[in-house]
A and B are shown apart, each in its own frame.
Chain A
Amino acid sequence: MNINWGVMIPILAKAIGETFQMIGIALVFTIVFGLLVGVLLVSTDEGGVYEAPFGSRRLGAIIHAVLGFIVNIGRSLPFIILMVVLIPFTRLIIGTFIGPTAAAVPLTIAAIPFFARLVEIALREVDTGLVEAARSMGATRGTIIWKVLLAEARPSIVLALSTSVISLLNYSAIAGTIGAGGIGDIAIRYGYQRYDNSYLFTTIIILIVIVQMVQLVASAVARRLSHR
């Protein structure tokens, strides 16, 4: 195989930059809203600290059910369809649906429910005895969420985050097909449409390396945080 590195490297460098850009933006919003939704899902459930917001169990149950429903909708749409459906919304807030910044919008919308469910699982793994101990010490709900639930679930949340990043990488390749740019876009345009296997294989290697690194770092951080 005769590879012209001088041509390929700038193209790939730009693509990697675009991929990191869309994933980076999406990740920030995913962390913030995913944590929020995950915490709400757990705390408004029966036995959660907000099972009865404003003294109403009914309100808690309604919030829980509505939130769960929305999250499930988000998770039931295949990313490519979600992306198309969200085009008007993306245009509204970014002004265009082309480019990595615009692609961050559907990526975020897709990743929030995914990450939120993983956060929910992580929080449910925290021993209820710890919540009880905190309550017996007179802890407020906020303290219980911050210093017990989220603090204890940190290792699992870091692993959930790495899973979400890898999903985002996956979605970003699909976003590439409708003009987002990025590594996936190169693989499709150069590798698939131009039959240039050197691009195809190089992008595959890059993707593998990125995923391995994400997982490696996340596992190391999780191990560091875990004292179980």
Chain B
Amino acid sequence: MITITDLHKSYSPRNARGTTVEALKGIDLTVADGEIFGVVGQSGAGKSTLLRCVNLLERPTSGSITVAGQDLTTLGEADLRVARHGIGMVFQHFNLLSSRTVAENVEFGLEITGVDRAARRARSAEVLDLVGLGDRASAYPSQLSGGQKQRVGIARALAGNPKVLLSDEATSSLDPETTDSILQLLKELNRTLGVTIMLITHEMEVVKRICTSAALIEGGRIVESGNVIDLLNTPKSKIAHALFPLGESRGEPGNTVIEIMYAGHLADEPIVGRMSREFGIDVNILGAAVEVVSDHRVGRMRLELPGSVESNAVPIARLKDSGLYVEVLEGAL
């Protein structure tokens, strides 16, 4: 649905002494139809610039952006405006017009596309029901809570039936409970309407809760990207480690430290107990977490086994055989 190829964006200096800032240094990214794709990164990593390039709020310095089969970078101004009607966007600070009621805000995009008044009314009532704000149509944004404002923002973005929804830190200024309900709503809309969602966030929780795929951006480059479950099974994946922080406990020197990852039915098996019984070794649990990621129950555990890696070769092989992902952290060299 969205294909980004070799995208560069640099900001030219404001004066002779300034330096050119390279915000994006060659981004390649594909967001498949119907996905919820999360781009994570710290502030300043370029994720916001990247998202704003997708609907060309920022014009890239070079590279191409294809949304729903149309290369936006080649479009003239008028065609670009039409293309934007098919790309909804929600913002961290909601960006609702304070002078308009909730319904009038939702209708704004439809006014732009020239939909007549009666049809606008009907459509805004429809999408407001969809986001659970059917009864607040005539309220003003200032009378709403943060979560309700974001629901209006989502309704406004969806009013024109877009194929793609871009979310710019949509939950970052909301409290944890409200964040939960907004994420739930996005997930539901993705499922029922089939709208493809590309979101940027600095919160791993968002990826964990709703994303089917994710990319990590650092210093203007994508350093990791893919299906979330696949990433969890990728050795040394930074996203996987960030999704499952296990603490800093590293075990005793000379011992073997391994990390195991398990998903689905394996999460219900007594792995540690069986291993110590079968091989007669004292397994020490350094850290463990079980989470639900993209609707899959997955767990990660850091274990300390006495002795060198060589002496533990058999139990490690046995773990791998039973379908677990195993990563040897210490004693391997």
Which residues from 36 to 65 on chain A have a C-beta closer than 8 Å to any C-beta of chain B?
A: none
B97 in contact with A137 (CB, 8 Å): no
Instruction: Encode contact with B along A130-148: 1 for CB under 8 Å, 0 otherwise.
Output: 1011111111100100011
Q: Which size bracket describes the interface of B in this complex?
A: 20 to 34
Minimum C-beta distance from B261 to chain A (A): 39
The main secondary structure of chain A at its interface with chain B is helix
Residues of B within 8 Å of A136, CB to CB, are: 55, 57, 84, 87, 89, 166
Minimum C-beta distance from B86 to chain A (A): 9
Given the known inter-chain contacts A136-B89, A137-B112, A138-B112, please indicate yes or no for A129 contacting B140, CB distance below 8 A. Answer: no
Given the known inter-chain contacts A151-B99, A152-B98, A152-B99, please indicate yes or no for A137 contacting B84, CB distance below 8 A. Answer: yes
A135 CA to B108 CA, complexed, in Å: 11
State which of B81, B85, B95, B99 has its C-beta within 8 Å of the C-beta of A133: B95
A129 in contact with B93 (CB, 8 Å): yes
A225 in contact with B113 (CB, 8 Å): no
Given the known inter-chain contacts A152-B98, A227-B98, please indicate yes or no for A133 contacting B112, CB distance below 8 A. Answer: no
Residues of A within 8 Å of B160, CB to CB, are: 137
Q: Which size bracket describes the interface of A in this complex?
A: 20 to 34
B315: interface (CB < 8 Å):
no
State which of B80, B85, B141 has its C-beta within 8 Å of the C-beta of A137: B85
- On A, residues with C-beta under 8 Å from B are 127, 129-130, 132-140, 143, 147-148, 151-152, 154, 225-228
Residues of B within 8 Å of A138, CB to CB, are: 80-85, 109, 112-113
A228 CA to B100 CA, complexed, in Å: 10
Instruction: Encode contact with A along B93-121: 1 for CB under 8 Å, 0 otherwise.
Output: 10111111000000011011100000000
Residues of B within 8 Å of A148, CB to CB, are: 97
4 more CB-based (< 8 A) A-B contacts, given A132-B91, A137-B109, A143-B111: A130-B97, A133-B95, A147-B97, A227-B98
